Amino acid sequence: MNEGAFYSGVYRNLLHEYGYSDEEIDEKVLNAWNDIFYGDEETKIYYTHGDKGGYLLDTGNKDVRTEGMSYGMMMAVQLDKKGEFDRLWYWSKKYMYMTEGEHEGYFAWSCNPDGSKRSNGPAPDGEEYFVMALFFASHRWGDGLEPFDYSTQAKNLLRTCLHQGENGKGYPMWNLNNKLIKFVPGVEYSDPSYHLPHFYELFALWSYPEDRNFWKEAAVASREYLNIACHPETGLAPEYAYYDGTPNNERGYGHFFSDSYRVASNIGLDYEWFGADERGVEIANKIQAFFAHKDPKDYRRYSVDGTPFEEKSLHPVGLIATNAMASLAANGPNAKHLVELFWNTPVRTGVRRYYDNCLYMFALLALSGKMKIWLPENC
């Protein structure tokens, strides 16, 4: 039984366990950060904007997404990069935050690099990562003046996520009855890769008091959901799924594809941080067994039962990264092999590099024990 780093304070450095030296690991983490944030034009995805702003560019779609902005903030707070963190948050709050209409209080999920909105709707995976990164920033660096009053910003956003719609305008991001996150606020189905029970455990500690019980229940509900959404033989999850866990293919997203990759990494990090669900070990083993003998050049879209499509993976490096991150939970024969495959894979270059390299950086941080829970000083 894994005690979980939240309780023990010990973060597993799986890369060191598998034979890589601390010097090699630290160098690889630093090089990945420098490549992703400050590399050449075929490698970097971070750009400064004006005197105070910065953004991560989705290089395949030429837009700025709450997913990437919040991911970049999480990378920055884990590596003590306050300057980049504040630039990303400043840009997000200035250009993406919506102050009126149905989605007031949420962030527009897609903007152009000049700050103009491509969409007036939110994507909940961005909101939950914004919140977690802001809490960690508050605990690591302390709160500043608005908008850098990180903990207040986090708590207010969480309140919006649950209470939007109480005034008859808009919808919450979670189903308040079953405690499951929605794909977008106005629908009643989910995206398994959005489920972050390890975040909800922490939201239950740091949100406004009236919402803490909800988040504790949401952590339990999400772990249950992942166990019904992942296929019993392959461990694969669909991109979209109904609340009963069955694939939602109404828009063609009921298969294992780009969003789904994150399920493996989320299960790995949940197990590392909290060790709360031994069923995650079994799912991680199944996912790794499915991919262990496949050539990354031949990764594809799959039905959740493992049936391959002709369509190739858009983000094979990202899939290598998430399968490796699953090793934080896995105890099967493929864990070391898939970590070594990841170690020997460089960051991606070219047009499609954005999503791959976000997942790459997360895997590198998690597998090196550097993806930590930053607690308040009084804990």
63, 259, 270, 272: the catalytic one is 259
DSSP 259: G
* Alpha helices, H only, 231-305: 261-274, 279-291
**In contact, 29 and 81? CB cutoff 8 Å:** no
* Alpha helices, H only, the chain: 5-8, 14-17, 22-38, 66-78, 82-91, 124-141, 150-163, 197-206, 212-229, 261-274, 279-291, 316-325, 335-343, 353-367
CA distance 114 to 324: 35
Angle among Cα 113, 28, 257 to the nearest 5 degrees reads 55
Task: Look up 210 and say whether it is catalytic.
Answer: no
Backbone angles phi, psi at 302, to 5 degrees: -130, 145
Burial class (CB in 10 A: 0-12, 13-18, 19+), 51: exposed
Task: Look up 86 and say whether it is catalytic.
Answer: no
CA distance 240 to 257: 10
CA distance 89 to 83: 10
Peptide bond into 147 cis (omega under 30): yes
CA distance 130 to 310: 36
Neighbours of 41 (CB within 10 A): 7
CA distance 185 to 293: 39
Residue type, 275: G
67, 191, 211, 239: the catalytic one is 67
Residues serving a catalytic function are 67, 259
